[in-house]
Amino acid sequence: MSIVKLHVNGTDREVDTDPSTPLLYVLRNDLGLRGPRFGCGLGQCGACTVIVDGAAIRSCTTQVSQVRGQITTLEGLSKDGKLDPLQQAWIDEQVPQCGYCQNGQIMTAKALLGRNPNPTDAQIRTAMEGALCRCMTYYRVQAAIKRVARRETVK
């Protein structure tokens, strides 16, 4: 065990853990952040996605000691009780069904819009292809992303 320092959702955190522990386990079990989900544990479904310095990463296959930079989880998207525009778009488009994959969908979309505020349909499909959904919410995910992109474009 050793002390690992993390910067999560704008706050410095320390955890006493095995450095090889997956980031996902630390976020959920040590820090109580239940947004990222365990799906496959193999980097293949996207349910565990978090953002590190603007990039979407799989927290299930990332050792906690490897993480440098600012970690944002689903809990870090809303500010002062106000939903992120992407979360609001998710509600407006009624995207989720069972909900299990939705952390991965939202966090992957957030990273996409961070680097490309007005993506084409093809760019959305490419960016989102690793975020799997057994309920087939893909069309509504795309609609929610485009809803936010339109807002950004109109400003």
Chain residues in the site for ligand FES (CB under 6 A): 38-41, 43-48, 58, 60, 96-102, 133-135, 137
Residues contacting 137, CB < 8 A, separation 6+: 95, 96, 97, 101, 102, 105
Could you tell me the smallest distance in angstroms from the CB atom of residue 94 to ligand FES? 11
Q: How far is the CB of 142 from ligand FES (least distance, A)?
A: 14
Q: Considering the complex, state which of residue 120 and residue 127 has its C-beta at the smaller distance from ligand FES.
A: 127
Question: Which is closer to ligand FES, CB of 35 or CB of 96?
Answer: 96
Identify which of residues 132 and 150 has a Cβ nearer to ligand FES in the complex: 132
**Distance in Å, CB of 50 to ligand FES, minimum:** 10
DSSP state letter for 22: B
What is the C-alpha to C-alpha distance for residues 151 and 34, in angstroms, rounded to an integer?
29
**End-to-end alpha carbon distance in the chain:** 49
Contact 22, 61 (CB under 8 A): yes
CB of 23 to ligand FES, least distance (A): 10
Pairing mode of beta strands 49-52, 55-58 = antiparallel
40-75 burial, b if ≥16 CB within 10 A, otherwise e?
eeeeebbbbbbbbeeebbbbbebebbebeeebbbbb
Closer CB to ligand FES, 61 or 88, in the complex: 61
Which residues pair with residue 82 across a beta bridge? 79
Nearer Cβ to ligand FES (55/117): 55
Q: Give the shortest CB-151-to-ligand FES separation in angstroms.
A: 24
